[in-house]
């Protein structure tokens, strides 16, 4: 039965990896393999010799001698435990996505565009790279990429030049998301899973992530696409300006940034702080919305359309629900493998068979080569299941350097292929970037940045 469950997972995983070829959204195989895996566990519960207790991170003593009713009870408790942990991540993401959509509802991100005054291609490259690095740490790398490419489309008219900027934005956004607990889904998983803390994540990963962004950007700044001046695109003077844009931008970003502080002070799960932030932002959104429409709704069809419902309801309808369902499916499918002790056993055999590189210096039981390969693997296959699997494989203590290296590798390694990260996929869709163009022009820059940051991490971790 274990073999069948592993086969189901492998086939589902393969379908996720080649979603662009088979034209089936990755959430579908994720949900199917999750449901089938748990159904097979329930049907064959008597045939499993061991069971992994996620709460205590160890195998259940004497599981094979228990009766079927006791085994089913343990399975139901385990399923509920994993659903609870997964729900924490999903509710957190729902809150963050809604706040971002509320900011966009008030055209808050247009404030960022007003900061760009130069027409030097090299300076614009550095501005967007730094903005991507900072914004992705606050509103996550996917959203930061969407926002910045949307702004880029209003500044750079030539698409052949614009896709170069988009490629560097992907690298910078993924690098920025790695050092923040709210910057990337995988980092959020490690944070909520109590593997890393905000302070140590920043201390371990800020400099390596910064190097991962700076090195490719520095190299690219000397390349032909970023030389000379750019023809600026004039703003649409007929567009109605929202007087609350800047206020909602700063309020929304401030609410998201306050979540790690709330967790540190109260020791409550992060989703509680995110719901508080969403509530506060929503209150001001409703107040400002009423003021906005009262003075400007006459003769404006766009505003009339928005006026028919609240900004919160509108924002909730715009969030990326397929992504939420995908995370549900993949995390619960990995949980099925973890519960059978498959990942735990694989981790043990991995530690015995792989060479230990730098383990004496780092005090870790897992080779650095394995984590680097995980980073390379995240460029080929989705990094969410890779990190989810690592959560079930390794039992190192909170803030062990292993978890921080995993956060860095999984977060930044995806930049090496355009399909290797959510930021890359969304940029590919927005600018119709060709896979092989990215592989030829951008991938080597991402690889250089990834390796440079990894070397810096291997050095700086000895300081903590």
Run of H or E including 93: helix 68-105
25 in Cβ contact with 19 (< 8 Å): yes
Who's near 216: CB < 8 A, 6+ residues apart? 168, 171, 445, 446, 448, 449
The first and second tokens of residue 284, run together, are 């001001």
- The C-alpha atoms of residue 102 and residue 310 are separated, in whole angstroms, by 10
Q: Can you give the pTM of this predicted structure?
A: 0.72
Measured between alpha carbons, how far is residue 152 from residues 119, 336, 431 in Å?
Answer: 12, 43, 11
- Residue-level pLDDT at 7: 92
The residue whose two tokens read 């900011």 is 103
Which segments of the chain have a pLDDT < 70? 20, 55-57, 231-242, 291-309, 343-367, 381-382, 385, 392, 464
What are the extents of the domains in the chain?
A: 81-323+354-464
Who's near 10: CB < 8 A, 6+ residues apart? none
- The C-alpha atoms of residue 14 and residue 418 are separated, in whole angstroms, by 17
* DSSP letters spanning 205-236: HHHHHHHHHHHHHHHHTTSGGGSSB-PPPPP-
Helix extents (H) in 381-420: 383-393, 401-413
Query: What confidence tens digit (pLDDT) does each residue in 199-212 have?
Result: 899 999 999 999 99
The first and second tokens of residue 7, run together, are 């086969």
- Residue-level pLDDT at 170: 94
Strand partners, 59: 52
323 in Cβ contact with 330 (< 8 Å): no
* 81: nearest Cα among 441, 332, 456, 309: 332
- Residue-level pLDDT at 412: 93
List, as own/partner pairs, every contact residues 355-361 make where C-beta atoms lie below 8 angstroms and the sequence separation is at least 24, other chains included.
358/458, 361/462
Query: What confidence tens digit (pLDDT) does each residue in 225-265 have?
Result: 888 887 655 554 444 456 788 899 889 888 888 888 888 88
């Amino acid at each position: 039965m274990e073999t069948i469950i592993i086969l189901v997972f492998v086939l589902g995983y393969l379908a996720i990896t080649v979603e662009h070829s088979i034209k089936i959204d990755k959430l579908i195989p994720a949900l199917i393999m999750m449901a089938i895996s748990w159904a097979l566990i329930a049907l064959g519960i008597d045939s499993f010799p061991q069971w992994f207790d996620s709460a205590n991170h160890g195998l259940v003593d004497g599981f094979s001698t228990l009766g079927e009713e006791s085994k089913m009870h343990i399975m139901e408790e385990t399923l509920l435990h994993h659903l609870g942990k997964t729900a924490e991540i999903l509710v957190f993401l729902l809150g963050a996505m809604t706040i971002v959509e509320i900011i966009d509802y008030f055209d808050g991100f247009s404030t960022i565009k007003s900061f760009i005054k130069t027409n030097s291609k090299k300076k614009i490259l550095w501005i967007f790279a730094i903005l991507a690095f900072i914004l992705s740490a606050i509103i996550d790398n996917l959203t930061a990429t969407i926002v910045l490419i949307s702004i880029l489309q209003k500044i750079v008219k030539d698409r052949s030049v614009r896709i170069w900027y988009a490629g560097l934005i992907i690298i910078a956004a993924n690098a920025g998301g790695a050092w923040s607990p709210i910057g990337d889904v995988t980092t959020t998983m490690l944070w909520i899973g109590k593997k890393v803390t905000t302070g140590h994540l920043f201390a371990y990963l800020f400099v390596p992530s910064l190097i991962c962004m700076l090195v490719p950007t520095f190299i690219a700044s000397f390349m032909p696409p970023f030389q000379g001046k750019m023809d600026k695109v004039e703003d649409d003077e007929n567009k109605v300006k929202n007087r609350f844009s800047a206020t909602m931008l700063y309020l929304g970003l401030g609410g998201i940034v306050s979540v790690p502080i709330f967790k540190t002070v109260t020791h409550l799960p992060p989703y509680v702080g995110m719901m508080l932030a969403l509530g506060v932002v929503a209150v001001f959104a409703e107040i400002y919305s009423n003021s906005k429409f009262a003075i400007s709704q006459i003769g404006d069809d766009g505003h009339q359309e928005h006026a028919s419902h609240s900004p919160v309801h509108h924002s909730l309808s715009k969030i990326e629900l397929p992504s939420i369902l995908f995370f549900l499916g993949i995390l619960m499918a990995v949980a099925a493998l973890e519960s059978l002790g498959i990942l735990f056993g694989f981790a043990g055999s991995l530690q015995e068979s792989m060479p230990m590189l730098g383990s004496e210096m780092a005090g870790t039981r897992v080779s650095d080569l394995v984590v680097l390969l995980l980073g390379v693997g995240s460029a080929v296959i989705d990094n969410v299941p890779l990190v989810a699997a690592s959560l079930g494989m390794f039992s190192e203590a909170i803030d062990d350097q292993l978890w921080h290296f995993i956060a860095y590798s999984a977060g930044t390694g995806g930049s090496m292929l355009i399909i290797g990260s959510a930021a890359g996929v969304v940029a590919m869709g927005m600018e119709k970037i060709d896979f092989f163009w990215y592989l030829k022009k951008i991938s080597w820059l991402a690889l250089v940045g990834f390796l440079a940051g990894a070397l810096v991490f291997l050095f700086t971790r000895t300081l903590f």
